[in-house]
Each structure stands twice: as C-alpha cells, then as structure tokens.
Amino acid sequence: MAKPNRLDADGKDDVLRSLAQALTPYLRQTLASADANEPEYYHQNNSPLGRRRHLALVRSGALSGRKVGKRVLVARQDMRAFLEEHPSAEASGTKTADPLDDWGLTRRRR
C-alpha cells in the first residue's frame, strides 16, 4: 500500500487554488447581477405580505397597484416603502391586545 505523498496533496491545493481564481470573476458577476434579475413588481402570489393581505391593501388603496390579467401588481419600491412605514408588531416587540380582554374573558390554556 502506498503512503500518501506530500507532493500530491500540495498539487491538489494548487489545482484547487487555480480553479478558484478562474471562477472568481464569473461568480462576482453572477452574484452582482442577481439583484438585477429580480422583477420590478410583486404580484399576489409572490408578495411578502401574503396573497390575501396584498389584495386587501390594494383594494383599500393603502398600496398602489394595478391589475394585469389575473395578477394585481405592486411596484417593488412601493412595497418596500409600505413595509418600512408599517413594521410588524412582532418586529417592534409590542404585544398585540387580546380581543377577549375587551369582554373581560380569558383564554383557556390547552
């Protein structure tokens, strides 16, 4: 049985290093253009708000959108602005009020 040669390991490192150097420009270009490939609009099926909330907010006028075919489109920058103006209750650390408190009721723990 042959012992692993130190030169073989160094040769593998050299091959891997040269391969990494050859792929680096391609990977930089691909990763930089990944943001450019994102669509300009969200529709109800890929919205970060979810389908029902997306449609309800456009219907109410809180988000500006337009209907194209069966899709309701909202511009990506409009969605980003809306999300920045309306942080979620979980993200802000505030606890939402329990609607049962208004009636003087408590929840049963299961």
Look up tokens 């609607």; give the residue: 99
108 DSSP assignment:
P
- Give me the pLDDT at residue 109, please: 72
Query: 3-class DSSP state for residue 6?
Result: helix
Task: Note the pLDDT tens digit of each residue in 7-23.
Answer: 455 678 888 889 889 98
Q: How far is CA 56 from CA 9, 11, 13, 63, in A?
A: 62, 62, 57, 9
Measure the CA–CA gap between 70 and 67, rounded to whole angstroms: 7
- Give me the pLDDT at residue 42, please: 92
Q: Give me the number of domains the chain comprises.
A: 1
Q: Classify residue 18: in a domain, yes or no.
A: no
Instruction: Identify the segments of the chain with pLDDT beneath 70.
Output: 1-10, 33-37, 89-96, 110
Asked if 19 and 27 touch (Cβ cutoff 8 Å), the reply is no
Asked if 41 and 77 touch (Cβ cutoff 8 Å), the reply is no
Q: Classify residue 80: in a domain, yes or no.
A: yes
Q: Classify residue 22: in a domain, yes or no.
A: no
Task: Note the pLDDT tens digit of each residue in 40-50.
Answer: 899 999 999 99
**Domain region containing 52:** 41-88
Question: What does 85-101 look like in DSSP terms, one character per residue?
Answer: HS--HHHHTPPPPPGGG
Measure the CA–CA gap between 31 and 56, rounded to whole angstroms: 35
